Amino acid sequence: MAKVIIALGNDISTDDIYPGRYMATVLPTETPQFAFADRTDFNARLKAREFPAGSIIVGGENFGCGSSREQACSTLKGYEVVVVAKSISRIFLQNSINLGLKVVLCPALEASEGDELDLTDDTVINRTTGKQFAQVQMPAARKGIMDAGGLIPYTRALLKVRR
């Protein structure tokens, strides 16, 4: 079970997640400090490491829309959060998979900041409200890449198996 640390609305852009003015900083070890930089209270709490790994960011429709910057994914991966959203933009979804950021698609999701969620293989259970919501299943190949921690660790593991 994990807690929702922020519940966001629809059309959360990559510029909201990782503002463009920080694009000079692209190393995954350095990008997390700029996560949601314009949401200063939330950014401060992230930087203070107030939230344990596996904490949940809830999004509405079209999470991660906008530019294709992968730093929007690496900045969140740096905090080991999980994104659970009603829908995720195509490029953000692929960048998340490639970088190993855990994302869950849940079109009917109802959750608020502070809610406790259980993520099973096919359901999101809101323990706070008692409601359950079906997940959209990720294709096995995409799930395998995400579960391996991203495309590079996934490929390394495949190469070791083939030797």
The secondary structure element, H or E, covering residue 44 is: helix 40-47
Quick check: 157 and 148 in contact, CB under 8 A?
A: yes
Q: What's the distance, Cα to Cα, between the start and end of the chain in Å?
A: 38
User: What b-and-e string marks burial along 116-136, b requiring 16 or more CB atoms within 10 Å of the CB?
Assistant: ebebeeeebbbeeeeeebebe
Give the model's confidence band at 161: pLDDT under 50 very low, under 70 low, under 90 confident, else very high.
confident
| Superfamily of domain covering 2-137 | Aconitase, domain 4 (3.20.19.10)
How far are the Cα atoms of 44, 95, 122 from residue 113, in angstroms, in the given order? 17, 25, 22
Q: Tens digit of pLDDT for each residue in 21-43?
A: 998 887 888 999 999 999 999 99
Query: Mind listing the pLDDT tens digit for each residue in 73-98?
Result: 999 999 999 999 999 999 999 999 99
Domain ranges for the chain, please list them: 2-137
Compute the distance between CA of residue 145 and CA of residue 17 in angstroms, rounded to an integer.
23
Angle at 28 between CA 12 and CA 94, to 5 degrees: 50
Return the SS3 of 28: coil
pLDDT, position 163: 62
**pTM strictly above 0.85:** yes
- Please list, in sequence order, all residues whose beta carbon lies within 8 angstroms of the beta carbon of residue 47, skipping any fewer than 6 positions away: 32, 33
Burial of 111 (0-12, 13-18, 19+ CB in 10 A): buried
